[in-house]
A and B are shown apart, each in its own frame.
Chain A
Amino acid sequence: MTDAARPLAAVPRWLRGLLVAALAAQLALHQAAPPAGASARDLPPAPQPALLRLASLGEPPALARLLMLYLQAFDLGGGNVLPYRRLDYRRLADWLRAILALDPKSQYPLFSAARVYAEVPDRQRMRQMLELIHDEYLADPNRRWPWLAHAAILAKHRLGDLPLALRYAAAIERHTTDPGAPLWAKHMQIFILEDMGELEAERIMIGSLIESGRIREPAELGLLKRRLEELERRR
């Protein structure tokens, strides 16, 4: 507004009234509108990754992360005693897969799958998330092994499903070639076999690992040899 603006009195009284009434109506309508925030039922089917790529307008990492924020708002909080209890996990898995396809290097989808959605007190839903993590791990083992390792821990301790935990641990051992992956992750299946009472299988596995020549680190080799000796003593 410039200094040359006419005084307020120049505006007709009816127009001032209309402005105030319109503002009041807007506030009242906003108050009457349903509260913002998405419920579980609102989660729509996931779009095709190709459509998401089109919608990203050449910025897939940005859209992938914004979609994760969008997704995490569903069925979280609001009067929901158990978060994600009513969420359709099939749709959720489709969304996570689509977001991973949009930005395969992002850790956000698998972090959420492992640390948020798989921690629900519902065995069926937990299994769905663990399977999603396993499937997606196979696409990029060296980047995604931490999430499968977490999945193996959940399968062992939360589900009490040792064969499932063993399958995940075996996948890590077989497919992860990242030298930065820690020993505990690469040799997780040894400890699971021990928990299962499969000492003979564990002994054979450690022996074949040492013989294969894949273990180059002296510390790692020493640890495995000590474990083998202990197993030999217990035979």
Chain B
Amino acid sequence: MATTTTTVPGAGPFPGSRSFISKLRDGDEIARLITFLFAASVVLVTVLLVYELWVESALPRHKFGLHFLITKVWDPNLDQFGALPFIYGTLVTAAVSLVLAVPLGIGAAIFLAELAPAQISDILEFFIDLLAAVPSVIYGLLGVFIVIPLMREYIQPGLKNTLGFLPFFQGPTYGVGFLTAGIVLAIMVIPYIISVSREVLLSVPRDQREAALALGATRWESTWKVVVPFARTGIMGSIFLALARALGETMAVTMVIGNTPTISASLFSPGYSIAAVIANEFTEATGDVYLQSLIELGLVLFLLTFILNGLARLLIVATSQRGSGVGQA
């Protein structure tokens, strides 16, 4: 077969049907090798990232062990570092943001997928995509000059007067704090929830809707009791994705959270988040333990988002495969 391969190179459907030399002459093996090196470098970078985070945080890991995660003291002068206030701040702001963003995001996604005519839905989705492209620091800018004054003057006093009996809405109203950070985060993650949920909802087979309507369900009943449950896992995936974004979000949070390591039930209280403390103190960190404690915070953040992103991907894939009988829009 050697003669045919030289006259008709590349014609064979099987990889082994040509000699190595002829492939090399066509440059296939070289191209394969070069592109492989580029692809492998992606893996290398990822491995290196995890390795660096691990190695560069060795000091505090040995000094504090797991106590790092549950200690409240963050005192560079005493070389004592505990991550609890930051972990608390990160989780609380993310939780507040989800409480606000999930209903709004899913509502908007239902409108885009179920109700709006395709053209309007596409135009709105275009705006949502643009919204997702707005950089974090711009949200921070608006947070500082618009959301904070608004919170201080109107929203926080208002909440205090109406829901002040709850522990969440007590204490002085500074404008900055967990609640403000949560609200800004909510605005930032809504586009992610909408985009992914809309796609998942669109992948629900048409006959599911029609069956519900044929049984006499109203439009809302078919949406809420049939379509949404069908897409449930995927919507959960979009929420996890949003949660991972909210946890890792740095600039906007840094600008509005108040940057004080506190643990308080009140959402009006200024706080601090993992990403914010890294952003603020990294360049000022004197001493190896201080700097490496910040890097260990980075490691904690990495692990949190890693787990959430993994879960999100699993859920989204699970739904789109189940709904794959009908082509996605």
- Whether A and B are associated in the same complex: the answer reads no
Interface residues of A (CB under 8 A from B): none
- B residues near A, CB below 8 A? none
